Amino acid sequence: MLALTYRGPNRIRVEKKPAPKLEHPNDVILRVTRTAICGSDLHLLHGLIPDTRVGCVFGHEFAGVVEEVGPGVVSLTKGDRVVVPFNISCGTCFFCQRGLTGNCENTNPSANVASGVYGYSHTTGGYDGGQAEYVRVPFADVGPMKIPDDMTDEQVLFLSDILPTGYQAAEMGEIKPGETVVVFGCGPVGLFAQRSAWLMGAGRVIAVDPVAYRLDFARAYNNVETVGFEDATGGDVVSLLMKMTDGRGADVCIDAVGCEAEGSVAQSFLGVKAKLMAGSATAINWSIAACRKAGNVVLIGVYGPPFNAVDIGSAMNKGLTLRMNQANCKRYMPKLLDHIREGRIDAEGIITHRVPLEHAADAYELFEKKKDNCIKCVLVPPMAA
């Protein structure tokens, strides 16, 4: 089968690989029909996530058709169309039973940091991802959700990750009606976090991003106020945000950027270029600085181990509540499917590019370098039809 494989930092290649096999009674093999490139795939591409091995297949956002079914699977049959959450979850461990499927303890033998994740290094269990023609899906009775017959794969594709991630970010902010929410990042997760903040009754949503076309998109898509780095004197975004919030700060700040945030030369050099820490913590520090005392700061952007230079002293002295986690997608899928159906969230509206899987490396470049006003790239495998 064709698959996008990692060859080293900034090097990926679409090549032939053996198709996956059933390895557990509750596995299914999925023929991928749509798969997306996520911002967190870029952290892998840039060599920021430990134990990313040459030859592994990326991709944790995908939907497809069930091709082979393990003998222990009861809820799926061959031919079912499903969308698959990026967390691989057993469904019955301590965490899964409490709704924390992103923290499942039965699917990742490598690290105690998260559940297994498709195509996201051996630090999250060493599973191949979905940027391929076929993918093995463990615990098929737990994760995958059948796609309703009247909906397309693209309408629901983002239930696999970025939509629940954005929604959970807003939810962890414990937004109360009328509150001011600042979302750092106008990438796909940031866009969905902004939209979710409105759904939760925010009185004001302010989006921050260095890229002008992404701010334009956020304004058009979410009707939010926007702040670009160029809007702030000397690039001092935090001072501008404080001014916009009467000098007090926002009630809730959401970091939807993660470990490659721009805005601080020192952080970018130490964390991203020199790799002396786990990426740049600029968005965390700005969230801490722009949040009002006793407010809520949410980290939903991805950071790898081991450490970052985070201004934890300010967070402590301001009495902030910090909340963070990988998204527990499974818990949010029915609710968000309803929002899509009712037209409250136009999830596929953020797709700007559809690219054949064979040209996935070009799509990565487009997405990474923010060419052609790219917001979200969807890859279409040759066997998708």
Partner 1 sequence: MNSQVEKQMQIAPIPGAGVDGSQEARPGVPMEKETPEPAGNAHWLTPQRMPDPGWIQKRAGLEELTPVFGTTVPPRGLSGLMRRAAYRIPEHFTSHWLVLLAADRVDVLEDRLKTILPFVVPLAAAGVYFGVRAQRRTWWRALLA
Name which of residues 279 to 338 contact partner 1 (CB under 8 A): 305-307, 328, 330-332, 334-335
Tell me the window of 118-126, 153-161, 251-259, 349-357 that interacts with partner 1 (CB under 8 A): 118-126
Q: List the one residue from 62, 139, 192, 217 that touches partner 1 (CB under 8 A).
A: 139
Q: Give CA–CA dist 293/17, Å, rounded.
A: 53
Residue with tokens 């990988």: 326
Please, what is the minimum distance in Å from the beta carbon of residue 244 to partner 1?
A: 16
Which residue lies nearer to partner 1 by CB, 9 or 148? 9
Please, what is the minimum distance in Å from the beta carbon of residue 20 to partner 1?
A: 9
- The footprint of partner 1 on residues 143-182 (CB under 8 A) is 143, 168, 171-172, 177-178
- Kindly report the backbone phi and psi dihedral angles of residue 228, in degrees, each rounded to the nearest multiple of 5, phi listed first: -100, 160
Tell me the window of 28-36, 195-203, 264-272, 279-287 that interacts with partner 1 (CB under 8 A): 195-203
Which residue lies nearer to partner 1 by CB, 9 or 79? 9
Please, what is the minimum distance in Å from the beta carbon of residue 14 to partner 1?
A: 16
Residue type, 378: V
Greatest C-alpha distance within the chain: 63
> Is position 15 an interface residue for partner 1 (rule: CB under 8 A)?
no
Please, what is the minimum distance in Å from the beta carbon of residue 234 to partner 1?
A: 30
Residue with tokens 């592994």: 56
Q: List the one residue from 205, 300, 320, 375 that touches partner 1 (CB under 8 A).
A: 205
4 to each of 1, 18, 61, 365, how far by Cα in Å? 10, 12, 14, 13
Residue type, 200: M
Which residue lies nearer to partner 1 by CB, 129 or 228? 129
- The footprint of partner 1 on residues 236-265 (CB under 8 A) is none
Beta bridge partners of 321: 296
Q: Give CA–CA dist 144/137, Å, rounded.
A: 8
Return the CA Rg of the chain: 20
Which residue lies nearer to partner 1 by CB, 222 or 282? 222
Which residues lie closer than 8 Å to 29 by C-beta, 6 or more apart? 19, 20, 21, 22, 66, 67, 68, 134, 135, 136, 137
Please, what is the minimum distance in Å from the beta carbon of residue 367 to partner 1?
A: 22
Please, what is the minimum distance in Å from the beta carbon of residue 320 to partner 1?
A: 17
Contact between 139 and 89 under an 8 Å Cβ cutoff? The reply is yes
Residue type, 17: K
Q: Give CA–CA dist 213/153, Å, rounded.
A: 27
Q: List the one residue from 62, 86, 127, 229 that touches partner 1 (CB under 8 A).
A: 127
- The footprint of partner 1 on residues 54-113 (CB under 8 A) is 54-57, 72, 74-75, 88-92, 96-101, 105-113
